[in-house]
């Protein structure tokens, strides 16, 4: 008798297919071609230090594009995506796959994303994998993008995708050198420019992401899985769709609410729990939201927060946040679970963190810490039924090591729902 078929983990299979596609495409595109050697060089002009890459000793003849950093350093590359310029905060992610999820994650609002992995777009674009209804990034920066993606789910290439949504891109630059600059000097602003004369250093330095949550949150209530057993209010600060899916799969009826929905309104809905989502910007800017969460903390309602939601919950309880030098962004960040004594690999996307030393031990304990820099990655509260995580347990592109946190939240809600 043949054994029964084993259950298939769709996320795991998708990840394996993506990685195999990266390896296969990298081999195939260089087959029967002469070896290409690249080198980079920098020269100092009157106002800028310009870095460019040469292939086989020759400079590219395609349309040029420049990335001008606020410290005056400039990278010369080639244009792709939309034909426009943009000023943004420049950040990098170390993820090898999941670029569709990255581009549509509203936490990147106001930022230009640098991919440290050198080949992007090899498996194309799949609209089903969107984390929101629009592209969030202001610009996209890669070493090389794939013009001929190969994937049975592919619905287009990355260049056409960026053109469709009006997002400028720059390729052909030394992203490794750029990442080193950002790591050594910290996250900084920059401009994607067609001409160096268009880059105003004062304008670049003055750029700031102002109240982005107001722009990305939905304006009307949306109900997902209306027949779910556990009624849940979710405050949308820029929610990723897979957070909603993860809750719906656990039999939750999810009321996706605008970020400024009042505590009184939420309590009148007779929900079993409250979820605080991810989102963009400086958490301390959301003064009214923090005051609202403080009210909700006094209701006894079970609360779970992720990313920005984690930070806002901490601020509502009197703790502090700070901006990190260059943030945590990628799919390979180790976090230690102080309760279970285990270490997990997590997906992260944040430029701010809760200051661990500011946590009052009478109010909360640290639940997770970052293995690399010891920054706070999670809190569990003592006087209210609440906990939070800085990383993303729902990560659609993987890994899903910490997805059990959703189950912990369901168990927290069960007492009031059954």
Under 8 Å CB-to-CB from 94, ≥6 apart: which residues?
116, 117, 329, 330, 331, 332
CA–CA distance, 11 with 311 (Å, rounded to integer): 28
Handedness of CA 392, 67, 162, 180 (dihedral sign): negative
Of 51, 297, 307, 396, the catalytic one is 307
Residue 276 near residue 313 (C-beta atoms within 8 A): yes
DSSP bridge pairs for 234: 256, 275
Interatomic CA distance for residues 359 and 300, integer angstroms: 20
310 is catalytic: no
How far apart (Å, rounded) are the C-alpha atoms in residues 217 and 142? Answer: 28
Active-site entry in 25, 255, 392, 396: 392
Rg of the chain over CA atoms, in angstroms? 22
Q: Are 51 and 170 in contact (CB under 8 A)?
A: no
Cis peptide upstream of residue 229 (ω within 30 degrees of 0) = no
Active-site option among 76, 131, 144, 394: 394
Residue 197 CB neighbours (<10 A): 8
| DSSP-assigned letter for residue 196 | G
**Whole-angstrom Cα distance, residue 324 to residue 186?**
8
Distances (CA, A) of 334 to 133, 203, 331, 337, 344: 30, 37, 9, 10, 6
Question: Would you call 184 a catalytic residue per the annotation?
Answer: no
DSSP 351-363: EEEE-GGG--TTT
Decide if 324 contacts 375 (C-beta within 8 A).
yes
End-to-end CA distance of the chain: 42
The closest alpha carbon to 126, from 104, 148, 147, 93, belongs to: 104
Q: Please state the separation of Cα 38 from the chain's center in Å.
A: 30
Residue 366 is a catalytic residue: no
* Token code pair at residue 23: 């390896």
SS3 416: helix
DSSP-H helix ranges across 154-196: 158-164, 175-185
List, by residue number, the catalytic residues: 307, 392, 394
């Amino acid at each position: 008798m043949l054994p029964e078929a084993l259950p298939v983990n769709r996320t795991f299979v998708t990840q394996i297919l993506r990685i195999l596609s990266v390896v296969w495409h990298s081999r195939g595109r260089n087959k029967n071609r002469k070896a290409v050697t690249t080198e980079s060089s920098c020269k100092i002009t009157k106002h800028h230090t310009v870095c460019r890459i040469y292939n086989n000793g020759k400079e590219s003849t395609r349309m040029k594009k420049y990335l001008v950093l606020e410290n005056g350093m400039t990278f010369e590359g080639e244009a792709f995506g939309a034909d426009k310029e943009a000023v943004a905060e420049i950040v990098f992610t170390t993820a090898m796959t999941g670029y569709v999820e990255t581009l549509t994650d509203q936490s990147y609002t106001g930022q230009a994303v640098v991919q440290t992995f050198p080949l992007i777009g090899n498996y194309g674009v799949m609209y089903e994998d969107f984390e929101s209804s629009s592209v969030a990034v202001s610009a996209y920066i890669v070493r090389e993008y794939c013009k001929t993606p190969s994937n049975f789910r592919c619905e287009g290439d990355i260049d056409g995708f960026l053109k469709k949504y009006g997002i400028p891109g720059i390729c052909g630059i030394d992203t490794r050198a750029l990442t080193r600059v950002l790591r050594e000097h910290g996250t900084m602003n920059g401009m994607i420019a067609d001409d160096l004369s268009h880059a105003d250093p004062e304008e670049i330095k003055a750029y700031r992401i102002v109240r982005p949550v107001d722009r990305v949150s939905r304006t009307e209530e949306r109900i997902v899985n209306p027949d779910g057993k556990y009624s849940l209010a979710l405050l949308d600060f820029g929610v990723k769709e897979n957070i909603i899916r993860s809750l719906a799969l656990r039999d939750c009826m999810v009321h996706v609410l605008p970020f400024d929905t009042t505590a009184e309104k939420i309590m009148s809905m007779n929900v079993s729990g409250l979820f605080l989502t991810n989102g963009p910007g400086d958490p301390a800017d959301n003064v009214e939201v923090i005051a609202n969460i403080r009210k909700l903390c006094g209701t006894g309602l079970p609360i779970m927060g992720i990313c920005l939601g984690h930070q806002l919950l901490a601020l509502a309880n009197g703790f502090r946040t700070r901006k990190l030098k260059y943030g945590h962004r990628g799919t390979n960040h180790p976090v230690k679970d102080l309760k279970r004594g285990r270490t997990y690999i997590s997906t992260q996307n944040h430029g701010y963190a809760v200051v661990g030393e500011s946590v009052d031990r009478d109010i909360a304990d640290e639940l997770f810490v970052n293995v690399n820099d010891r920054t706070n990655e999670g809190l569990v509260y003592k006087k209210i039924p609440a906990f939070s995580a800085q990383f993303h347990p729902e990560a659609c592109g993987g890994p899903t090591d910490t997805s059990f946190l959703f189950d912990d939240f369901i168990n927290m809600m069960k007492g009031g729902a059954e």
